[in-house]
């Protein structure tokens, strides 16, 4: 009778996995030529500096596409189009031109009291 080798995936704590990943990256970086190490270090510094400005939101695909299309037509970054839209929303909200309560519906999530109904429900 032949025995099959069991292929078990090692279970690592996420902190240990991150530490090992960081060590691997540092080892690979140390093997690069000096110019490449400097270049990678600068790139990493830029990424770290931008973290404070970055955020992720869930957007419906049709909204994302409209933003992308508008940005391409105007020749500007999509993030700047979204920033302008958000600034205008906040200005309108602060001026009491927008009332979020008209969009609120109870949430089933224990994390939030309300969801915003942004789209009309389609009749079935």
Domain chopping of the chain, boundaries: 17-53, 61-116
Which residues on neighbouring strands pair with residue 115, listed in sequence order?
A: 105
Quote helix, strand, coil % in the chain, to nearest 5. Answer: 55, 5, 40
Summarize pLDDT for 21-78 with one digit per residue, the tens: 878 888 887 888 888 888 888 888 888 887 888 888 999 999 999 999 999 999 999 9
Instruction: Say yes or no to pLDDT of 109 above 80.
Output: yes
The per-residue pLDDT for 33 is: 86
In 3-state terms, what secondary structure has residue 61?
helix
Instruction: Say yes or no to pLDDT of 1 above 60.
Output: no
Residue 8: pLDDT band by 50, 70, 90 thresholds?
low
DSSP 52: G
Distance between CA atoms of residues 79 and 113, nearest Å: 29
DSSP string of 11-41, one letter each residue: P--HHHHHHHHHHHHHHHHHTS-HHHHHHHH
The per-residue pLDDT for 34 is: 85
């Amino acid at each position: 009778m032949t025995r099959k080798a069991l292929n078990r995936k090692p279970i690592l704590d996420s902190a240990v996995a991150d530490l090992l990943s960081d060590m691997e990256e540092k080892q690979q970086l140390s093997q690069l030529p000096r110019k490449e190490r400097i270049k990678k270090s600068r790139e990493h510094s830029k990424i770290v500096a931008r973290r404070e400005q970055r955020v992720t939101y869930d957007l419906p695909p049709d909204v994302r596409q409209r933003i992308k299309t508008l940005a391409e037509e105007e020749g500007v970054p999509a993030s700047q189009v979204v920033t302008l839209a958000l600034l205008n929303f906040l200005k309108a909200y602060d001026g009491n031109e927008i009332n979020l309560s008209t969009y609120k519906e109870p949430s089933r999530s224990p994390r939030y009291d309300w969801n915003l109904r942004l789209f009309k429900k389609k009749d079935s």
